[in-house]
Structure 1
């Protein structure tokens, strides 16, 4: 994400209708960023981060604050979740209840952010918002983009499962090991009266 390392000075990536940068989930209000701008952490209601970020963009544009509010970043990762033997990609917030805003701070810009529905306050010392170091934001953006998806399934050692794919389809067994990083489970099934271990993908077993 070399281009985004220059995030506080320029942005040339394509955006969607909400101004969201497809590469790193940054909503761009104004790509012409002031050298006086800094990133600030804003606390929101958990689960409402995306909605609040879009609302803030709309308020900044409607209220004439695009010269002071430039970008909004909700750190997240894509995680692979397996449910009932089916794999799907879901967005997981890295910091539920928080988003980051690149802005030039003054009383008016503080007010437009603070009074956005769903915002509960800025993070800082006392009542003074504390800006983030640029290096911290770059690290988060790289992490959000580059970290490999994690597999997540509600399998535990000892769970009873049914094999749903492969040569052992419809065999019943018990989970002996779970590897979340690789998205695999070791299942013990009975073959010709003997307990046999099988290493299977999360998508190849269904919990009973």
Structure 2
């Protein structure tokens, strides 16, 4: 007859947990407090929100640096999976469910029972490497297909459509109708304004 393994003998794994959108930091704080209160430090080891640096270039050309969540709506937890640790995580406010395989429900709606799936070591390494990335990700409020109005320079007051964005140089290429023909023109981010549709 096989005896049940004690939690100390079971290997901890990383799991993704889906949380309410925008509540990642609140879930992390609540879960860390619950871990201390319920003395689960030996079974729930780490709670992480993978983030990377991003530089957002605004329309007027200003740059703003911020931390951007790699997986919005998800938290990574390193834990020893057993009934008690599962309940602690699952019953934390704003936690929706573990990511894993779902067993089919015969009746009712919504998610059935989800069997948590541990992440492989290669997946975990890839996630943390992305978070430690030296080069910040550059984000721009303008994308190909957006309608713009030129606000400065020789094409001021012309309207066009963005066809290419070059965040590193702070420029974009747009098609502007000049004398009835679409002409590609390179403009700086500070020379254009996005037209809201």
Cα distance, 1:70–1:170 mapped onto 2, change above 3 Å: farther
2:191 maps to which residue? 205
Question: Alignment length, in residue pairs?
Answer: 166
Counterpart among 124, 140, 153 of residue 152 in structure 1: 140
Partner of 1:96: 72
How high is the TM-score relative to the length of structure 1? Answer: 0.66
Residue in structure 2 matching 1:72, options 47, 64, 74? 47
Matching residue of 2:123: 136
Q: Does 1:40 align with 2:26?
A: no
State the alpha-carbon separation in 1 of the partners of residues 156 and 85 from structure 2. Answer: 62
Structure number, greater radius of gyration: 2
Gaps of 5+ in 2: 1-7, 104-113
Q: Pairwise CA RMSD of aligned residues?
A: 3.2
Distance 1:122 1:80, change over 3 A: same
Distance 1:56 1:102, change over 3 A: same
Give the deviation of 1:79 after TM superposition.
Answer: 2.6
Whole-Å separation in 2 of the counterparts to 1:63 and 1:169: 67
Q: Output aligned runs, 1:1-208, within 5 Å.
A: 36-85=11-60, 86-125=62-101, 126=103, 127-146=114-133, 148-154=136-142, 156=145, 158-163=147-152, 168=153, 171-174=156-159, 177-182=163-168, 183-186=170-173, 197-200=185-188, 202=189, 204-207=190-193
Q: 1-side partners of 2:32 and 2:9: how far apart?
A: 17
CA contact (8 A) 1:81 1:152 kept: yes
TM-score normalised by L of structure 2 = 0.69
- Specify whether residues 198 and 43 from structure 1 end up closer, same or farther in structure 2 by C-alpha distance, changes over 3 A only: closer
Structure 1: segments with no counterpart, 5+ residues:
1-32
